[in-house]
Each structure stands twice: as C-alpha cells, then as structure tokens.
Amino acid sequence: MFPLTRLLSLARPINHFHFRMASAAATGSRRLEGKVAVVTASTEGIGYAIAKRLGEEGAHVVISSRKQANVDKALKSLKEANLSVSGLVCHVGKESDRAKLIEMAVKENGGLDILVSNAAANPFFGKILDCDDKSWDKIFEINVKSAFLLVKESVPHMVSRGGGSVVLVSSIAGYMPFELLGPYSVSKTALLGLTKALTPQLTEMNIRVNCVAPGLIKTNFSAALFATEESTKLALSQIPMKRAGTPDEIAGIVSFLASDDASYITGENMLVAGGSPSKL
C-alpha cells in the first residue's frame, strides 16, 4: 500500500512547488557569439527579456520601441549588465522606423542574423462583433502586416550573411481565442499561418523561421488579469501549472530557436504555456 503521507504529497497543488529556470548565466552558453540580432518591442516585458538573453548568449542586440525614454532606460540596464547592445525608437507600424532599425543593425555591426518580431497592439477589448474597422485595421497592421514587412526587409541582409533565423511572437490566444480579445486572437492565429507560409521560401535562403506562442506571462500587457484576487484565480484556473509564466521562460525558448541548436527546426509554432490546452 502507498503510505498516506506520500499520497498527500502527490496531491499537493503544483503551485506550491518552486520552479527552476535556466539562464544563460547558469548554463554559461555563448551559442550566439558573433551574431547580430534585432528584437522589436524590446524595452519591457517579453521583448526585453529576449534581448537580454540573446545578449547574454553572446549576440549584439539592437533593441527598440516607440518611446525614446523607454529605449534609453532599457539600454542603460542592459549595458550595466555588460551586454553588447544598441537601440533606437522604432514604431513597427512606421516604414521609416523599420528601415532605420534594420539599417542600424547592419551599418553598426556589418550584418543581421536574427530577427525577433515581438510587437503587438490591442486597442479593442469586448465582444468581437463590437470591434470597429479602425481597431481591426490597427490590430492587423501592427500584429501581422508589420511582422511580415520586417521579415521581408530583413531577409536580404540575412542572405548576404549566408542565412539567418526569424522568430515571431504569437500567443496562446492564437490557438484558443479569448472571448473578449477576438480580433487580437485572430491576428495571433495569422502569425501561426505566416510562419508556415514563409517556411518554403526562407528555407531556400538558409533562413529558419519559427514562432513562439506564449501562454499567460506576467507583464504590463497582462496586468489587468492580475488586478484582483478573483481575476487572478480565474486566469490561473485554466493553466495546469497553476501559475503565470515569466518573460525569461519565453526568452530561453526564443534564444534556442534563434541558435544553431535548433538547426533542424523550421516552420514550427511552439507553445510555451504551462500546459494550457490548445487546439486550432
């Protein structure tokens, strides 16, 4: 017979366990040495964690977001961590900003190897049929079209380096639409398709393209879900691990996909969501 104490310990809710996260510092990995990376929307949250991780693994990282003050603050803390970074303002919806971003990476560092398209907008919250066409257009302009254009604009520079790696940031909402975030969810589903659609042509150019779909991650973007004890409980109830993820837990996967450790992985959509159910 199984001892009762053993049974009780197995029944303990999983959120009572401490979780352990790898970090570049812990693993000592420098697998991105010599690479040049561009990460959009990287002054906070998931994008910032990705930029930091790519830098820790040896890449030079060009960070960006819409506000100069945010760029300056992020650059300061990344430089204090002794990482090789530069940065500028880039609103991904603006063609001239995107051009400056790519130009900075290539001019300052001689090329571009890694693109992480992480920016997203969500100007609408409510039932999908109440979404007006302006909000719909904005969501698709930023979340899908800008991602596509950034890839298109980066590709020639990757080709002149002999290849590269692209990572798009989607969402669990792309698999299981959130009822009050319908248009945003559809835009994230489009990124799963964009990854597949880009794969054959990018493969011809020795460029891999993959997509990471985070589950619930604690950032400003998701802060509303943690506003009250009740909303927190509801949000976590859908997640088998019974906790939100951290930006660092997304960054490690992006860094892996960007690196040669993932040299036989392309066209994949990877969920990082604590076991949250997903089905398209």
Please give the positions annotated as active site. 184
Asked if 86 interacts with ligand NAP (CB under 6 A), we say no
Full strand arrangement of the beta sheet holding 164-169: 85-89, 60-65, 36-39, 114-117, 164-169, 207-214, 269-272
Q: How far is the CB of 34 from ligand NAP (least distance, A)?
A: 26
Cα–Cα distance between 120 and 143 in angstroms, integer? 5
- Residue 42 vs 259, nearer CB to ligand NAP: 42
Asked if 187 interacts with ligand NAP (CB under 6 A), we say no
- Residue 90 vs 151, nearer CB to ligand NAP: 90
Query: Residue from 24, 39, 47, 208 that binds ligand NAP (CB under 6 A)?
Result: 47
**Positions in 218-237 near ligand NAP (CB under 6 A):** 219-222
**Positions in 140-169 near ligand NAP (CB under 6 A):** 142, 169
Asked if 135 interacts with ligand NAP (CB under 6 A), we say no
Asked if 67 interacts with ligand NAP (CB under 6 A), we say yes
- Residue 5 vs 220, nearer CB to ligand NAP: 220
- Residue 205 vs 235, nearer CB to ligand NAP: 235
Residue 214 DSSP code: E
Asked if 190 interacts with ligand NAP (CB under 6 A), we say no
Asked if 194 interacts with ligand NAP (CB under 6 A), we say no
- Residue 91 vs 208, nearer CB to ligand NAP: 91
- The position carrying tokens 């597949």 is 196
Q: How far is the CB of 143 from ligand NAP (least distance, A)?
A: 7
Cα–Cα distance between 45 and 169 in angstroms, integer? 13
Q: What Cα–Cα distance (Å) separates residue 167 from each residue in 69, 137, 212, 262?
A: 26, 23, 7, 12
**Positions in 249-268 near ligand NAP (CB under 6 A):** none
Torsion of CA 89, 93, 95, 98, to 10 degrees: 40
Number of residues engaging ligand NAP in binding (CB under 6 A): 29
Q: How far is the CB of 167 from ligand NAP (least distance, A)?
A: 11
Query: Residue from 120, 139, 209, 253 that binds ligand NAP (CB under 6 A)?
Result: 120
Q: Which region among 16-24, 25-33, 44-52, 257-265 touches ligand NAP (by CB under 6 A)?
A: 44-52
Residue 153 DSSP code: H
Cα–Cα distance between 25 and 42 in angstroms, integer? 20
Cα–Cα distance between 92 and 164 in angstroms, integer? 20
Query: Residue from 36, 37, 41, 144 that binds ligand NAP (CB under 6 A)?
Result: 41
CB contact at 8 A, 171 and 115: no
Cα–Cα distance between 126 and 201 in angstroms, integer? 37
Asked if 51 interacts with ligand NAP (CB under 6 A), we say no
Report which of 107, 210, 109 is spatially closest to residue 151, judged by C-alpha positions.
210
Cα–Cα distance between 241 and 276 in angstroms, integer? 8
Residue 130 DSSP code: G
- The position carrying tokens 């760029």 is 71
